Structure formats: C-alpha cells, structure tokens
Amino acid sequence: MSDKLVISGLSKTFSSERGTTVALNDFNLTVGHNEFVALVGTSGCGKSTLLSIAAGLESHDEGRITIDGEDIISPGLDRGVVFQSYTLLPWLNTLQNVEFALLAAGKSKAEARDIAQSHLELVGLQGFENAFPSELSGGMKQRVAIARALSYRPKMLLMDEPFGALDALTRHHMQELLTGIWEKHRLTVLFITHDVEEAVYLSDRVAVMTNRPGRIKTIVPITLSRPRHYDMVSTPEFQHLQRKVLDAIRSESLAAASLQSALA
C-alpha cells in the first residue's frame, strides 16, 4: 500500500494573551492509499487541530504534512472535508447543496446535476432532492454533507467527528452507510472521533492520541474481516480490539486526572 497522507514531526502551538498552548508535538502518522484510519483521543487532545491542519485551514509550526508527496499549505479540492456541524447552506435544497461544491470545482451545470443526483442516491437520499436543510433530520443533513464531499472526487476524505451530534440509533445507521460506501468505492479516509466502538467498527487502523500536547500513543490494527456488519460488535474479537483502544485512552485520561489532582 502506497502512502497517501504523511505527517512527520508535526507540531502546533497556539498563543494568546493567556499564554501558549502546545496542541501538537512531534506528531507522526501515515495514512495509506485507500486506507481508513480513525484518530481517537480524549477531548482537547488536539485531534481536531490536526484535522484542520490536514484540511489546510490551519497552519503548523514544525514538521511536514504531505498528500501524495506534496506539502499541504492551503485548503484544496484534493481533500474533501466533512465537519461536525452540518454546514449545509440553508437557502439551497439538497441537490443544490451538492451542486454548489461541483460548480465550485469547475463542473458544468449539466455535469454537476448528474453527479449530484448520483451521489444523493449513493447516500440513499433519492426523492429528497428538493428538500431544504430545515426539513432534514441531523442524519440526513450529514448524508448530504458526505455526498457533497465525495462528489468532486477528492484524493481523500477528512471527517471531523461527523456523527458526534447524532443520536445513537442514527449514528449506527450512518456508520453502516459509510462502511458500505467505503467498501464498495474505496477511498483514503482520516476519521476523527472520540467514540471507540465507532473507530473500531469503521477502520483499518485506529490511532490513539496522547493528552495535550498531542502525539500518537499507539496504533491498533483492526483485523476484523470485511464487509463489516453491525453484528460484529458483539464478537469477542471486536470486544478485544475495543478493549485495547479503550485501555490506551484510559491510561491517558487517568494520567490527566492525576495531573489535575496533583496541581490542585
């Protein structure tokens, strides 16, 4: 497997009047071509910062981050981003929201319509082309956002806790939908989450981050077979992998807690 996204020795410090915060320090991670990698960690560990840097929305201080060997210095159409907030434009209907991205990517009107239509079908939203975002549930909105990010064929997908605001049932549906799409079409994905079950279920590898300053603590390869089904969640193998990831995170949150009590 060739490398798609390569992050080496990356560090990022935020400074404000209240002082400096080291968000990332010596962060190293490689995501292979058509690989699905989930990045998990406690809240505030810098995982969203990392995604912003990968998206080109945020700068970094040291180290390198490249996609197909090219340095990431700005946002670009080679990376599709799905934000946790739905970011559907409320004055455009479902179809127009997907078309919006395609037109920005330079597609003709007719092309944009066809591609948008087929991507709405891909996420199971045929029949909702004329619905406005205010008519859609959270899960449906996020499906449109995924369709939009996939529509212009980016080299990779960056997803920042995309299902974080959804209820448990909808979240499971979305995970199955995403796995289904991924297994059929294969795409490089970096998926940020704090939901361990979600990370294990979706990924080829789960990267666990340390507390701030964030770096990779350990990487757990997910050896579950594909295609994945939700029944797998209760298998001993799944449970074992989930345990491994959880233990790595827990030692981090325990460390954070003891640090806090030591300071107090």
Partner 1 sequence: MPQQNKRIGTNRRFALGGKISTAEYLGISASVFAVLAIIWFLTTYFGLVRPLFLPSPAKVISRLAELWASGQLFADLGISIYRITFGFLVSTVIALPIGILIGSYRGWEAAIEPFVDFIRYMPVVAFVPLTILWSGTGDAQKLLIIFIGTFFQQVLLVMDNVKSVPKDFLNLGRTLQMPELRILQRIVLPSALPAIWDSMRISLGWAWTWLVVAELVAATSGLGYRITTAQRFFQTDLIFGYLLILGMLGLTTDQAMKYAGRKLFRYLNVR
Q: Give contact residues for partner 1 (rule: CB under 8 A).
A: 55-57, 75-77, 79-81, 83, 85, 87, 89-91, 93, 100-101, 104-105, 131-135, 152
68 or 100, CB closer to partner 1?
100
> Minimal distance in Å, beta carbon 193 to partner 1?
18
90 or 221, CB closer to partner 1?
90
CA trace torsion 176, 82, 161, 120 (10° rounding): -30
Cα(first)–Cα(last) distance of the chain, in Å?
Answer: 48
Give the separation between CA 22 and CA 102, rounded to whole angstroms.
37
> Minimal distance in Å, beta carbon 161 to partner 1?
12
44 or 100, CB closer to partner 1?
100
Alpha carbon 197 to its chain centroid, in Å, reads 15
Give the separation between CA 162 and CA 159, rounded to whole angstroms.
6
Q: Strand, coil or helix: what is 69?
A: coil
> Minimal distance in Å, beta carbon 80 to partner 1?
7
Find the angle CA(178)-CA(164)-CA(118) to the nearest 5 degrees.
30
> Minimal distance in Å, beta carbon 68 to partner 1?
17
Tokens of 261: 């009590």
Tokens of 18: 């209240």
Interacting residues of 215 by C-beta distance below 8 A, sequence separation 6+: 24, 25, 26, 27, 28, 209
9 or 164, CB closer to partner 1?
164
**193 strand-pairing partners:** 40
Give the separation between CA 8 and CA 64, rounded to whole angstroms.
5
> Minimal distance in Å, beta carbon 96 to partner 1?
10
Q: Is the peptide bond prior to 227 cis by the omega test (within 30 degrees of 0)?
A: yes
45 or 149, CB closer to partner 1?
149
Q: Strand, coil or helix: what is 111?
A: helix
25 or 93, CB closer to partner 1?
93
Task: Check: CB of residue 163 under 8 Å from CB of residue 142.
Answer: yes
> Minimal distance in Å, beta carbon 150 to partner 1?
13
99 or 198, CB closer to partner 1?
99
> Minimal distance in Å, beta carbon 141 to partner 1?
13
